Structure 1
């Protein structure tokens, strides 16, 4: 296991909880009447409950900017930066994911003091958003240009809402992304937000790579033991929400239920 991983998260098998932003300006679900302050208030409450519930880190994400696009708007980047600046936790690390724009993600992360980002940075996929063709070379050059070398990159090699083009396995994609594109962490997801990731895929990737491998979707109290027996940690969102619904506010009770099981099985 990489030394930086334990140094950053402090715990074995860290749980990174999602701080999902309501729809941002420029998207069709944005609430113009309530404005950006509503986003700040919503996320501030969620962060409070996540920290009180004992998670090890949080990840900010524009989850409700559906349908997703590959290039962020300036108004979205500005609003997300404001939200994070006004809500970021002081006691645990945080990361950023701007769906699905790695450059915008890195820019917001650097501006707000984040420790890591999550994105799809390699491969070619057919997806709900169309042909998905990220540019890891441009991301890493941008990272260097802005002085963000310390920000770790979590690469999702089995992304939601998509299927890979080509014949390489998830394990092969994970291995090559570490060598060719300097991925610091590998993520494995289910078919969409809240869907369970394939445990055997995580097991196979773990055998072949020397970086942390995290489960990215589908973790809940009933299966966290199985996932943590294999993965190096988990990114968790839907099960922490009221009624387990991805776009609902965080439930403190749900956070505490999950973390109780996590502490039994780290």
Structure 2
């Protein structure tokens, strides 16, 4: 197992919680009447609930910037930097960022805010709900080095939501060549959309092909299956389940966080 994962997170097989920001300036759903004040207040409330419920890490994303751009407008990362700046005094666990769906902007935001990791689609060409979607990991990796972000860990989502890989290659081959040729720090395996279950067979295939690169289950983790998922994966990223009634649009509910984290800790106690 890669040493960086053990150095960054205290427990084995960490659970990273998504902190979904509501729509931001420039997004169709942004509420200009309540403005950024409401966005920041909700973010602070949900950060408190997630950390109070015992999560091991936080990933801050512009999840409600629907429909997403594959090259974001500058206002998005700029606004996220302001919000994170106001959250920083209260963040007690390692945190990462995700500017959907823009790897370069995610790295810029991480360097500006001190985030430890980013998650994005860094490789592949896709037919997606957002149009033809291309990437350039060589350029992005060099950009990370140029701006002083070499310590920012890159989580590669190799099964992107709302998109299909154009090459038609099998998942194990994609994982093998991604690890060999593009130097990811971790791989993420997802279902079709946020909150959708991740296929256990797909997760196992990627884990077998990834070698020493950590593999995270990226969607669909719930209290009843977190032990099963963590028996294969090296960690989990959880968003939708932590919300009231498990509904994507709702606010985080501390009791649901506590429920899942209790199951995760019980499973981790069996590893020693």
Band the TM-score falls in, shorter-chain normalisation? over 0.9
**C-alpha separation between the residues in 2 aligned to 1:94 and 1:194?**
20
SS in 2 for 1:158: coil
Cross-structure match for 1:59: 59
Unaligned ranges ≥5, structure 2: none
Answer yes or no: is 1:5 the counterpart of 2:24.
no
**C-alpha separation between the residues in 2 aligned to 1:171 and 1:111?**
35
- Is the CA contact (8 Å cut-off) linking 1:242 and 1:248 kept in structure 2? yes
**C-alpha separation between the residues in 1 aligned to 2:243 and 2:250?**
6
Cross-structure match for 1:251: 253
Cross-structure match for 2:225: 223
Number of aligned residue pairs: give it: 266
- Is the CA contact (8 Å cut-off) linking 1:116 and 1:154 kept in structure 2? yes
**C-alpha separation between the residues in 2 aligned to 1:32 and 1:175?**
46
So what's the TM-score if we normalise by structure 2?
Answer: 0.96
Q: Output the aligned Cα RMSD.
A: 1.0
Unaligned ranges ≥5, structure 1: none
Q: Once the 2 structures are TM-superposed, how far is the Cα of residue 234 of structure 1 from its aligned partner? A: 0.3
SS in 1 for 2:158: strand
Cross-structure match for 2:35: 35
Alignment of 1:107-256 (within 5 A): 107-209=108-210, 210-256=212-258
Deviates more, 1:237-246 or 1:14-23: 237-246
Q: Once the 2 structures are TM-superposed, how far is the Cα of residue 243 of structure 1 from its aligned partner? A: 1.4
**C-alpha separation between the residues in 1 aligned to 2:16 and 2:203?**
17
**C-alpha separation between the residues in 2 aligned to 1:14 and 1:256?**
14
- Is the CA contact (8 Å cut-off) linking 1:123 and 1:173 kept in structure 2? no
What stretches of structure 1 move > 6 A for 4+ residues in a row? none
Please list the CA deviations of residues 44-87 of structure 1 after superposition, one character each: whole Å capped at 9, or x if unmatched: 11111111100000000100011111111121111111111111
Cross-structure match for 1:92: 93
- Is the CA contact (8 Å cut-off) linking 1:15 and 1:56 kept in structure 2? yes
**C-alpha separation between the residues in 2 aligned to 1:214 and 1:38?**
32
